[in-house]
Amino acid sequence: MPSDSTASSPPKAHGLLHNYNLSREQYEQALLLIDRVEALYRGAPAYVAQRGLDPEIHFPGNEWKDMVAIEGRSFHRAYPDINLLRLHAPFAGFHMALLDRLDSRLHPEPELDKFYLYITGKGFPDDIAATFAARVDPAVRLARTLGVDGKVIGSVEEMRLNLENVPPRYAVRTPRLFGEIGLELGGFLANPDTVLAQTRLNAMLSGGVLTKMEADVRRRGRVRVLEIGPGYGALGQALYGIFGEALEYIAVDLPAILYYPAVYLGTLQAGRESVVLLPGDKVPEHFRNVFVGNHLLEELEGPLGPIDVAINTMSFTEMSEVQVRFYAETMNRMLRPDGLVFEENDANRPHHSDSKKILGEVFPYRKSVSSSVVRTKIAVNDIWSKIYVPDVFDCSDHALRLGTSS
């Protein structure tokens, strides 16, 4: 947790101009990953048709149906667009380039909105970092954000709450790359995305998922995690910060969306053992990251498993019911007998699927996560399994077992 001296001093803004720029080698590595994502995307419709797969499962559904085109998408390849990847990756609803949400505006500014829409459509100019630095003040905008509980709060204040009682090894440390913006907090960076990632780590800590993953590493030397819908890769990077090279991470998403975690995670980890799988590829025996188009999951679920933990956060509800059931049954087959599903979903809109009902029809054991020690989201985090796992289910709050300095 940040020191008391940090708590009493005004937060320092970390803006676009404070980031490291991608090196030539990093940029070239990103382009190689993009080449494979683009090949995956271009070939997906024909693959689905040739294999006789169900388009209702493998093509975008429900909330994503009109958001993601299955054909004709172009992928950002210019250096400014990749160097500032976070500016066009608003997966949790927070737009980094505006330092605001579009669904619940706290800082409406129509002229900035027009500029943002123009440049995101045309691609970022070379001077975009300086231009945005002149237009948007992180210290002002991040002083009023929409918190994880839906209430207005400053990012520093919320991150401080999220770090309270959290052992340092479980704290989210954010790379200062890809256009990251935030407020400094004793070596941590506070913005709504990092706050959300910390909240999820806290739930995994309290629920016993992290403890179970650590036990898996002690037994087998590694832990294999499948995340369905990884966004831009925030949670995957946070888990890498905890488990390092013992983590084998599988990201599954629509091919068009895999662009973001492939570039983010593959570049941050220097491309080491990171691969975008194409049809016919063999799954490496060991890997750092593999990125899998959702339409390839039926082909690859065998060699990708067995997995120790499966994760989904806030996208099962956005899918159709048939898609949620497909993923639930696939996770059930891929998990080890004592494997866990950690999910954070809340069907709070009329079109949302009741993913918890479907998961309950597949997995007989459920644990709802709450904590009196660390801050978590209320009533949305659940752990599921196909057998009773005493080390997880026999403790209501695993954070009670931990010191704050480990």
The pLDDT of residue 247? 97
The answer to whether residue 4 scores a pLDDT higher than 60 is no
Tens-digit pLDDT profile for residues 239-294: 999 999 999 999 999 999 999 999 999 999 876 789 999 999 999 999 999 999 99
Domain residue limits at 236: 199-401
Residue 100 counted as domain residue: no
Give the CATH number, domain containing residue 346.
3.40.50.150
Residue 317 counted as domain residue: yes
* Cα distance between residue 344 and residue 334, in whole Å: 20
The answer to whether residue 358 scores a pLDDT higher than 70 is yes
Residue 121 counted as domain residue: no
Q: What is the count of structural domains for the chain? A: 1
The pLDDT of residue 303? 97
Residue 130 counted as domain residue: no
The pLDDT of residue 85? 95
Tens-digit pLDDT profile for residues 116-133: 777 777 788 888 888 888
- The candidate with the shortest Cα–Cα distance to 299, out of 62, 52, 60, is 52
The pLDDT of residue 203? 98
The answer to whether residue 348 scores a pLDDT higher than 90 is no
Tens-digit pLDDT profile for residues 17-65: 999 999 999 999 999 999 999 999 999 999 999 999 999 999 999 999 9
Average pLDDT, the chain: 93
- The mean pLDDT value for 375-404 works out to 91
Residue 374 counted as domain residue: yes
- The mean pLDDT value for 71-85 works out to 94
Bond preceding residue 167 cis, omega within 30 of 0: no
8 Å CB contact between 299 and 53: no
The pLDDT of residue 9? 62
Please give, one letter per residue, the 3-state secondary structure of the chain: CCCHHHHHCCCCEECHHHCCCCCHHHHHHHHHHHHHHHHHHHHHHHHHHHHCCCHHHHCCCHHHCCCCCCCCCCCCCCHHHHHCHHHHCCCCCEECCCCEECCCCCCCCHHHHHHHHHHHHHCCCCCHHHHHHHHCCHHHHCCCEECCCCCEECHHHHHHHHHCCCCHHHCCCCCCCCCCCEEEECCEEECHHHHHHHHHHHHHHHHCHHHHHHHHHHHHCCEEEEEECCCCCHHHHHHHHHHHHHEEEEEEECHHHHHHHHHHHHHHCCCCCEEECCCCCCCCCCCCEEEEEHHHHHHHHHHHCCEEEEEEECCCCCCCHHHHHHHHHHHHHHEEEEEEEEEECCCCCCCCCCHHHHHHHHCCEEEECCCCCCCCCCCCEEEEECCCCHHHHCCCCHHHHCCCCC
Residue 403: band (very low, low, confident or very high) from pLDDT cuts 50, 70, 90: low
The pLDDT of residue 92? 87
Residue 5: band (very low, low, confident or very high) from pLDDT cuts 50, 70, 90: very low
The residues facing 251 across adjacent strands are: 227, 291
Residue 178 counted as domain residue: no
The pLDDT of residue 406? 41
Residue 146 counted as domain residue: no
Residue 165 counted as domain residue: no
8 Å CB contact between 357 and 327: no
Residue 1: band (very low, low, confident or very high) from pLDDT cuts 50, 70, 90: low
